[in-house]
Structure 1
Amino acid sequence: MLLQRSAVAAARRVAPRAVARRTFASSIVRRDAPKQGQTAGEGRSLLEGYKNLDQIKTTEDLLPPGAKPGTVPTDIEQATGLERLEILGKMQGIDIFDMRPLDSSRVGTLEDPIVVNSAGPDQYVGCTGCPADSHEVKWITLSRDEPLARCMECGSAYKMHYIGPEEDPHAHGHSTAERPKNMSDFIKPEYLYH
């Protein structure tokens, strides 16, 4: 042990050798994208060749054209699926995933909860209290089976509003796992909020 410490100390005392200096150089090809409403040059529209959101009907509509040979693809030329849908929405000025923060100007009650939209069977909500940042983030799980829940810290109520498809295309007849028991399973039925 003593030998290891002295070897490390000796290595620290030795003057560092001159390191070969390497310059950093890069070449950048910049594509100045025209702003919405402008043309992309040669009389082309900005969204020419790309589908509008109302034209997208199937997942095949979200496949990209790809880049021209010999060029580096941009995000719009290579993105697929939900990423492509989000990019096309932003190009048209639409926030596909509604990324606005939840209403933290009030405390949600059981009669008037803060509504959270969800396209999936489960939704995680991070509560920071009212007013915002009153307490540390407390994560709450909402589901289609239990759409109403309260924050353990401030008592604010949240309710999931399901906006997704009625049937899950990924279910394939699999049985769902049973929810693990927690303390709410031992509350008297008259105290439950439904």
Structure 2
Amino acid sequence: MFSRSVISTARRAATSQSFRPIARRAFSASIVVRGGKHAPAETGPGVSMNLADIKSSNDLFGPGAQPGTVPTDLEQATGLERLEILGKMEGYDAFNMKPLDASRLGTMENPILAQGFGEEHYVGCTGFPADSHLTMWLTLSRTRPIERCTECGNVIKLDYVGPADAHNDAPEDPKTMADFVKKEYWYN
């Protein structure tokens, strides 16, 4: 008997006129756009809108959104993300994200080239023909630019395209078992 009276009281309280909801509509629908036009973007340092304007890392800051608006990816992006977006807008893939050539097996005489900007570059080999084995991750570096996949024998070589004087203070590669192989068996 007690449980029935509690349920009926709760129903009456929920439908009574004294019960008023805090918000009659969702907060996400409460944005108001006035005027319909955005103010022109600022110009000057830090507000680069194309790749040619970028001279230093300070130029990789977006202007942000105008008050009362939601920023676009271009307006709020900074750093490397902004560089990537600006490059894509001009049809340039800043980080060379296209897959490597998988139409052939790389050999020591004719390796598959992987462009890299840094001291090390990680490449995933899925075999030849493509997807014939699980991904094997190979580490290419400027001191060891050639690696061979242990599953399929595919040879991949680092094609360094960064600045020539960069990374002069890079640490020496750690010793591996490959360092103890006789010099006549090394591949160059």
Instruction: Compute the TM-score of the two structures, normalised by the length of structure 2.
Output: 0.71
Structure 1 partner of 2:148:
150
Residue 131 of structure 1, CA deviation: 1.1
SS in 2 for 1:87: helix
**1:136: which partner in 2?**
134
- Mapped partners of 2:30, 2:90: distance in 1: 28
Mapping 1:1-194, distance limit 5 Å: 25=26, 26-27=28-29, 50-168=48-166, 176=171, 178-194=172-188
Partner SS, residue 49 of structure 2: coil
Deviation of 1:52 (Å): 1.9
User: Shift of the alpha carbon at 1:97?
Assistant: 1.5
Report Cα offsets for 1:127-184 as digits up to 9, x if no partner: 0111110111101000011001110111111110111122337x7x6x72x4332221
Q: Distance in 2 between the 1:56 and 1:181 partners?
A: 40
Please tell me whether Structure 1 or Structure 2 has the larger radius of gyration of its CA atoms: 2
For the residues of structure 2 that align with 1:190 and 1:181, how far apart are their CA atoms? 18
Superposed CA deviations along residues 30-79 of structure 1, whole A, max 9, x for unmatched, are: x9xxxxxxxxx89x8xxxx7532122221122121111112222211111
Distance 2:57 2:125 in 1: 34
Amino acid at match of 1:27: A
Percent of pairs with identical residues = 55
- Structure 1: which amino acid aligns with 2:152? C
Question: Counterpart of 1:134 in 2: which secondary structure?
Answer: coil
Cα separation, partners in 2 of 1:135 and 1:63, compared to 1, 3 Å: same
Alignment length (residue pairs): 153
Structure 1 outlier segments of 4+, above 6 Å = none
Tell me the CA shift for residue 81 of structure 1: 1.2
The corresponding residue for 1:6 is none
2-structure distance, mates of 1:162, 1:115: 10
The offset of 1:126, in angstroms, is: 0.3
| Cα distance between partner residues in 1 of 2:138 and 2:159 | 15
C-alpha distance after superposition, 1:15-40 (max 9, x if no partner): xxxxxxxxx954397x9xxxxxxxxx
